[in-house]
Amino acid sequence: MKLKEEIKSSGLKLTRHRQEIFRLLKESRQPVTAEQIYATLRERNISINLSTVYRILDSLSGSELISKINIGEDKKNHYEYNCMAHRHYLVCLCCNNIFSVGDCPLSDYEKQVAKQTDFVITGHKLNLYGYCSNCKDKAGQCH
Amino acid sequence: MKLKEEIKSSGLKLTRHRQEIFRLLKESRQPVTAEQIYATLRERNISINLSTVYRILDSLSGSELISKINIGEDKKNHYEYNCMAHRHYLVCLCCNNIFSVGDCPLSDYEKQVAKQTDFVITGHKLNLYGYCSNCKDKAGQCH
DNA sequence: CTACATGCAAACCGTTTGCACCCTA
DNA sequence: TAGGGTGCAAACGGTTTGCATGTAG
């Protein structure tokens, strides 16, 4: 489905800003923050307010067009196009970029923990930390 | 080692407040937030300021007596006695309490992802979500 | 024309910091 | 008594909100 239809069919009004943000997320290979989106749009001479960025991210998440992810290292949220797949994240401790990983080794483990703890387990989050291929050689010099 | 010695031997001055907070964490079966610590101390008629709680949590973490954990669901940090073991967390979506889990199934997976992505992986965080044994029956009624 | 989108400024909430005073070692 | 610990109030940073105006359908 085309970008515009995706937005419309989720019941949201089609706005210049919504299109730009949704496109940006759809084309980005990595989850990004509200600030990053804001900065990118302004570089492209698209005038927008930060709170509008947040509101748009909210409405797109509400319609499940994108997902909000909470890595928790810094306090900033990240957002990515919602491909409807279960994902894990790879966080670079040097450049702070986040990469998505598709496969998941955990279904057996969930069952095992459920048994041990008497929890009903409904999901999980797994983040891996390290140094990406760009940063691995300068690991010592990072923040 | 006794509580007081643990604090002293890490180079920190021994204070009423530090003792109380460290003891509270050591005795708690669950990771807790700064606010929870603050509230508990005041219930016990120990007068303290929230910023002091944060400062003590900072210094205890700095000395590795406790660890700071960043679950990321709410934006609050949690703290727990540092048992020096690698841990994962079980978060109850109803009462928001956090439980620690000891065992970890991920070392093979780390190697596999490292190969696929050309990352140097240094660690990971795994959180499981669900309903604890107290809450599992009222899952529908939670926030 | 109406309901939702937006800009702006102010509020929010968890956490941190500056400064004056206090107390442990 | 010196240097770290503490209370208080104010700052901080990411995010949210109230209100007046703008715009898509």
Q: pLDDT tens across A60-100, in order?
A: 999 999 999 998 678 899 999 998 899 999 999 888 889 99
pLDDT digits (tens, 9 = 90+) for A16-34: 999 999 999 999 989 999 9
Statement: the CB of B42 is under 7 Å from strand C:
no
DSSP 3-state of B113: helix
**What chain A residue is nearest to B98 in terms of C-alpha separation?**
A119
pTM (two decimals): 0.90
CB contact under 8 A, A121 and B130: yes
Provide the pairing of β-strand B120-131 with A120-131.
Answer: antiparallel
CB contact under 8 A, B125 and A129: yes
Whether pLDDT at A111 is above 80: yes
pLDDT of residue A60: 98
Please report residues of A whose CB lies closer than 8 A to that of B136. Answer: 119-120
Whether pLDDT at A140 is above 90: no
**Top-confidence residue, A103 or A80:** A80
pLDDT of residue B43: 96
pLDDT of residue A16: 97
What nucleotides of chain D have any atom within 7 angstroms of a protein Cβ?
A: 4-10, 13-18, 24-25
Provide the pairing of β-strand B66-69 with B78-81.
Answer: antiparallel
Whether pLDDT at B117 is above 60: yes
CB atoms within 10 A of CB A62: 13
Asked if the C-beta of A70 comes within 8 angstroms of chain B's C-beta atoms, the answer is: yes
* Structural domains of chain B sorted by starting position, each given as residue range(s) with its CATH number in brackets: 1-84 (1.10.10.10), 86-143 (3.30.1490.190)
Give the pLDDT mean for B34-39.
Answer: 98
Whether pLDDT at A125 is above 60: yes
Provide the pairing of β-strand B88-92 with B98-101.
Answer: antiparallel
The answer to whether the CB of B58 falls within 8 A of the CB of B76 is no
CA A12 vs. chain centroid, Å, equals 20
Whether pLDDT at A141 is above 80: no
pLDDT digits (tens, 9 = 90+) for A126-139: 999 999 998 888 75
pLDDT digits (tens, 9 = 90+) for B59-115: 999 999 999 999 867 889 999 999 889 999 999 988 888 999 988 999 889 999 999
CA angle centred on B37, ends B34 and B40, rounded to 5°: 150
Chain B residues 76-105 with a CB less than 8 Å from chain A: 90, 92-93, 99, 101, 105
H-helix segments, chain A: 3-9, 16-27, 34-43, 50-62, 107-117
